[in-house]
Structure formats: C-alpha cells, structure tokens
Amino acid sequence: DVKVTQSSRYLVKRTGEKVFLECVQDMDHENMFWYRQDPGLGLRLIYFSYDVKMKEKGDIPEGYSVSREKKERFSLILESASTNQTSMYLCASSHHRGLNTEAFFGQGTRLTVV
C-alpha cells in the first residue's frame, strides 16, 4: 500500500518559532510537493522538488523554505511562524515519468500559530 506520511496531524506553535513539517514517502517517487489549503482558496503550491537537493518555488513561497536531503523525505520550514501561516498543509509525491501520473497525498498537518 503506497504511503505518504506527514509527521504530525495537528500542531500548535507560537509566533516567531521555527517550525518543521516533515513528509516521508515510501514509493521511490522523484517529485514531492508542499501545498497549503485554506477555505475558498483550494490548494496552493508552496514548493516542489523533482530530485534530491533540487527545489522550485511554487505560487506562494514567501515565508517558507524546504529541504530535500534524501529522496524519501521533503521538509517544509517556517523560519519564523506568523499567524497568517495558520492553515492545513498537505504533502504529496509522484513519479517523474510523464504528465499523467497522479500524486499521492499525506493526511495533512493542521498548523495553528498563536
């Protein structure tokens, strides 16, 4: 059974804290993605990675960074958490072969910044 696992389901952090959201996949996928989901806005791409140590900015990268030191792990970092980063964060992965390969998602991390 394919699996994308996010380290936390719920997280509460204080303003200004450095926050790490971890995502691990066991499918040997090349592509990994981080999205945030907010009501009425759908899923917005923060960053994605198509290989180890490779990353590209998505549509809303401000305030975030990422790390991909190993193929199976893709971390999202909030350098200094702010209340407007309170959101649902979804990690996904997919194979790199062609445009018709679906992405598999983790269960999501609901982050609250207080």
Partner 1 sequence: AQKITQTQPGMFVQEKEAVTLDCTYDTSDPSYGLFWYKQPSSGEMIFLIHQGSYDQQNATEGRYSLNFQKARKSANLVISASQLGDSAMYFCAARYGNNRLAFGKGNQVVVIP
Residues found near partner 1 in the complex (CB under 8 A) = 31, 33, 35, 40-45, 48, 50, 56, 58-59, 88, 90, 92, 94, 96, 98-105, 107-108
- Minimum Å gap between C-beta 18 and partner 1 is 25
| Residues 88, 108 contacting (CB under 8 angstroms) | yes
- Minimum Å gap between C-beta 3 and partner 1 is 12
- Minimum Å gap between C-beta 101 and partner 1 is 8
Report which DSSP code applies to 96. S
| Residues 54, 96 contacting (CB under 8 angstroms) | no
Quick one: three-class SS letters along 11-59?
EEECCCCCEEEEEEECCCCCEEEEEEEECCCEEEEEEEEEECCEEEECC
Nearer to partner 1, 77 or 88 (CB): 88
Nearer to partner 1, 14 or 98 (CB): 98
Nearer to partner 1, 17 or 58 (CB): 58
